[in-house]
Amino acid sequence: MNNNLTADSIEAVTSGLASAGYIASRQIATAVYLAERIEKPILVEGPAGVGKTELAKALAAWRGLKMIRMQCYEGLDEAKALYEWKYAKQLLYTQILKDKLGEVLGGAETLAGALDRLHDFGDVFFSKEFVEPRPLLQALEQPAGCVLLVDEIDKSDAEFESLLLEILSDYQVSIPELGTVVALVKPTVILTSNGERDLSDALKRRCLHLHIGFPEQKLEERIVESRVPGISQSLRTQIIGFINQVRTLDLKKLPSVSETIDWARVLVLLQSTELDHETVKDTLNVLLKYEADIETTMPQVTTFVAKAGRQGVFG
């Protein structure tokens, strides 16, 4: 019983993501399903432009949750990621409350007495009022839960990774002055990485590891279909056929899904119904981002187009 249910709910994830415009493969759907069931973050790796960030957006859109995004970069620290004290507000308040302080302390005769009264007063200035929540803290404080996207974690420093560990495993953060803040509703966490550097084992251990590569031909066609409305079936097949051949070349940066979509849009804008080598040569710069890559591909265009054309007819 349980198993049929599982297959159904993975199916439901797929269709849910599809309703938000994201065509997911079985692996992706399984990962999202599991992440919700065993409450673990997903670490998504893969080349640029295969829809890692998009997955988080689609998930948030489907679930109707807020998406909180934290873009990582070198030098990102606690103050920008977790929380910061509102120093200006603290200062301002001390100035305004100066007179009140006088009143409170007025009765005391000795210094020790004044200090005692001040202690009774408590740590007003280091309370929730004065905390400026940054993305990570915000994510824990969402009453309805949210999707937390930690984008390009590999760009951040190794120290920052360690900072994330507490959040990822226990969904809580410790603020020395306030104590531990526990998530109201556990957020769905998605981390993305381009594999620029190896992440630490401690971080990997806390996550489900999902690798998104270039999609299969069928899947990519469906993605293009959903993202570029008004594109004809034959053109779609040809585009994908062509791109899959380009991916077999030795290029600096292989065209990924986002480039496919851009290119399809361009071709629709140019109102081409067939892939012909003139148009391809003119628009190759949409697909390839390096001069050297374009030079490598240029001589092959005619054969690729011919092959893709055949695929369009027979495939």
Residues that bind other proteins (CB under 8 A): 2-4, 6-7, 10, 26-27, 30-31, 33-34, 37-38, 40, 45, 74-75, 158, 197-198, 201, 204-205, 208-211
At closest approach, how far in Å is the CB of 40 from other proteins?
7
| CA angle (17 as vertex; 241, 145 as ends), nearest 5 | 145
Question: Measured from the CB atom, is 92 or 158 closer to other proteins?
Answer: 158
Question: Measured from the CB atom, is 3 or 95 closer to other proteins?
Answer: 3
Question: Measured from the CB atom, is 3 or 110 closer to other proteins?
Answer: 3
At closest approach, how far in Å is the CB of 6 from other proteins?
5
At closest approach, how far in Å is the CB of 213 from other proteins?
9
Structure token pair of residue 281: 């040569």
Length of the chain: 315
**In angstroms, what CA-CA distances link 277 with 127, 152, 192, 253?**
66, 37, 36, 21
Question: Measured from the CB atom, is 211 or 310 closer to other proteins?
Answer: 211
At closest approach, how far in Å is the CB of 2 from other proteins?
5
Question: Measured from the CB atom, is 192 or 311 closer to other proteins?
Answer: 192
The total of other beta-carbon atoms located within 10 Å of residue 82's CB is 24
Question: Measured from the CB atom, is 3 or 271 closer to other proteins?
Answer: 3
In the three-class reduction of DSSP (H, G, I as helix; E, B as strand; rest coil), residue 97 is classed as coil
**In angstroms, what CA-CA distances link 278 with 28, 138, 259, 284, 300?**
37, 51, 19, 10, 13
For residue 285, with 0-12 CB atoms within 10 Å meaning exposed, 13-18 middle and 19 or more buried, which class applies?
A: middle
At closest approach, how far in Å is the CB of 286 from other proteins?
28
At closest approach, how far in Å is the CB of 218 from other proteins?
16
The total of other beta-carbon atoms located within 10 Å of residue 283's CB is 16
For residue 44, with 0-12 CB atoms within 10 Å meaning exposed, 13-18 middle and 19 or more buried, which class applies?
A: buried
